[in-house]
Amino acid sequence: MKIIGIDPGISATGYGILEDGMVTNYGTIRPKKGKTYTKLSEICKKIEGLISSNKPDLAVLEKVFHKKNIQSLLRSSELRGAIILTLANKNIKIVEFAPAQIKLAITGNGRASKQQVRYFVERTMLQNNKKVSSDAIDALAIAYTGVRKMHFQETLLN
């Protein structure tokens, strides 16, 4: 199964693609400066390209969480909505997880730090490649959570 994890961010959106639990692609989409709607469009077009070239079976996103800056929360919500629409239009199944669920799946601790998540992803998935953006690291962690949950569901069904 091929899974794309997406960490939506209006200035940097991370993505990570796993096939049968192995990393096949990852990176960060950094839209040009400009109006929010042009950034949304650029990010969604790049995600469409990733879908076309990688053909994922499942997309995993982090659920939006409360941020102190309401403007940032609104932009994040707009971006998540645009990404969800892009995925739905491509008939990609979507699963969402809360940040604590992702941290729990990665480290065994739902209150783990970003550094602990990064450590796990770098050591186990990227063989110590430390030149990866935090957005791509988060996206790989999100995709890995999807792999773990799918494996758990398959185990329950068998």
Please give the structure tokens belonging to residue 86: 């892009």
- For the segment 42-50, the average pLDDT, to the nearest whole number, is 98
pLDDT digits (tens, 9 = 90+) for 80-111: 999 999 999 999 999 999 999 999 999 999 99
The CA distance from 72 to 68, in Å, is 8
Residue 43 C-alpha from the chain's centroid: 13
- Is residue 42 part of the annotated active site? The answer reads no
User: Which pLDDT value is given to residue 29?
Assistant: 98
- What pTM was computed for the model? 0.92
67, 40, 61, 85: CA torsion to nearest 10: 120
- Is residue 57 part of the annotated active site? The answer reads no
| Residue of 57, 135, 138, 154 with catalytic role | 135
Q: Is 127 left (phi over 0), alpha (psi -120 to 50) or beta?
A: left
Please give the structure tokens belonging to residue 58: 């499942």
pLDDT digits (tens, 9 = 90+) for 51-79: 999 999 999 999 876 667 888 888 889 99
- For the segment 146-151, the average pLDDT, to the nearest whole number, is 83
Query: How many Å is the maximal CA-CA distance in the chain?
Result: 50
- Domain count within the chain: 1
**What CATH number did the domain enclosing 34 receive?**
3.30.420.10
| Residue of 42, 62, 96, 122 with catalytic role | 62
User: Which pLDDT value is given to residue 158?
Assistant: 46
Q: Name the residue range of residue 59's domain.
A: 2-157
